[in-house]
Chains A and B, each alone.
Chain A
């Protein structure tokens, strides 16, 4: 597949959704869609797979929970089981209610932060990263759909022109 893409610009999210459906129905390959805000249902129309980030968050939460249990057990029960205000430090379960707030908070802390970091890594976001939008207007009020060119370029351009686009550009895809 060549790296040539057609950038079709739209000025309305409803028109964009219809265009995405038409392009998919005609078996053209959509490289990317740039929108200034989340368009409800766009991922479904594009046929993107559901995210698995909730599953990672659950696993991270389990890690945080286990860490809290291990830490409290090691520090308060095994390492130096002091009598602090008469709390029963003979075993973990005898003193567990006092540890629950920490167990809860660490589960949430691990789940939230590691999930966010996972999100940054998977979506390649970091400070000083060069912005990738094809046209600055896509962050304001315009929508751009990039379609790979396969086969007849002119035919594809005229096909896209019929989907309600306001501007069309054929370029090289860089990334």
Chain B
């Protein structure tokens, strides 16, 4: 049995407290009115001689030109910036909430795949995966609360929730059959409820299988069938979830492979998290039955899914870039314009780095290699979610500040607390599984 070390517990509480204070600060430090924004913009023009807007290149030449810009940045611009700045702490929280939720959710999908595929190697890691999915109910409820708050107009992330906007926007009006608040919340409730149901059910069945008399695998076969059914449910709901929760932030834009793209980001982060938690627990001496062949397999999945993510990222980017249809290409124009560094930087973190580091078979067995690449991959995929969400909600007003960092710390603290509490609740070896012997002796 695992005991939650008091040090780690204190660490998670410290993260939560620091994160909470930072998030609260982020909310209090948003401008209170459009007038504040005007003063702020004027100040930043004078002090830096440079505007924060898109015309950066146009007036990079001389300060005299930027003087014109000050006059140019009229009320409409200040109004725009005001909404963006108001959205900023909300978006930062949303990115962090979604990021950790997707890790948990994709771990659940990976777990279901292992059951449905009757994989022989991964049984010794099942309890780690179950623990990571213990964050799923918490994260799901938090996300749902977030959506309810959004629909109560406490923030302006989903512009299609604003009747004012919809009234003047024919494109969104045509989509109101799908994009309306009651249906949106109902769908979210169905997805989150379905995922949590499978998670709790699977957990109950594996624990029951542990205590079953030898030779009785009825719980195991039940879990096999439920997992296969869950995967069907998951594929449909995951795709719709990505339209609802992320693509609808840009309600004028659409992409058909978006669901898969989000899934690729999810699954690679999830496998990485499984590897990191396993290495941590093994380092503490709790997983002596996990050998470096198991880690090798996880690292291969990290490598393979990183490439898969890149493939989908590039397929989406290249098809839109090549055809250059105005209504689609704006999505990438805004990302290339205002988010060049994170947008291109994540390719280095998510593709180039794993490609070169994890290609060697020997490196994939070295713990610190997996840990270093894993951390890089997680940072890269956080940036991926950041670049999916932020351009729609804060536009050119983004920067990586207290709100963003403390949102991550807050949710990371919660994540660590719930994951490691769940680890203490069951033995770390799912000994009732019929494939457990094969998994213990797994060797590659």
Contacts and interface: CB of A to CB of B under 8 A. Distances in A.
Interface size class of A (residues with CB under 8 A): under 10
A97 B361 CA distance: 30
A54 B361 contact: yes
Contacts of A58: 359
A117 interface: no
A97 B317 contact: yes
A31 interface: no
Interface string A97-131: 11010000000000000000000000000000000
A97 B318 contact: yes
B328 to A, nearest CB: 15
Main secondary structure of the interface of B (DSSP, over half): helix
Interface of A: 54, 58, 86, 97-98, 100
Given A97-B314, A98-B318, 8 more contacts: A54-B361, A58-B359, A86-B324, A97-B318, A97-B322, A98-B322, A100-B314, A100-B318
Interface residues of B, number: 8
B357 to A, nearest CB: 13
Interface in B307-359: 314, 317-318, 321-322, 324, 359
- The A contact surface, by secondary structure, is helix
B324 to A, nearest CB: 7
Nearest to B317: A97
- Nearest 6 pairs of A and B residues by beta carbon: A97-B318, A97-B321, A98-B322, A100-B314, A100-B318, A97-B317
Nearest to B324: A86
Contacts of A86: 324
12 contacts: A54-B361, A58-B359, A86-B324, A97-B314, A97-B317, A97-B318, A97-B321, A97-B322, A98-B318, A98-B322, A100-B314, A100-B318
A100 B317 CA distance: 12
B332 to A, nearest CB: 11
A78 B362 CA distance: 42
Contacts of A100: 314, 318
Interface in B199-256: none
Nearest to B314: A100
A37 B317 CA distance: 46
Nearest to A97: B318
A58 B317 CA distance: 27
A58 B314 CA distance: 22
A97 B313 CA distance: 12
A58 B360 CA distance: 10
A72 to B, nearest CB: 15
A90 to B, nearest CB: 15
B134 to A, nearest CB: 39
Nearest to A87: B322
Nearest to A55: B360
Contacts of A54: 361
Interface string B283-322: 0000000000000000000000000000000100110011
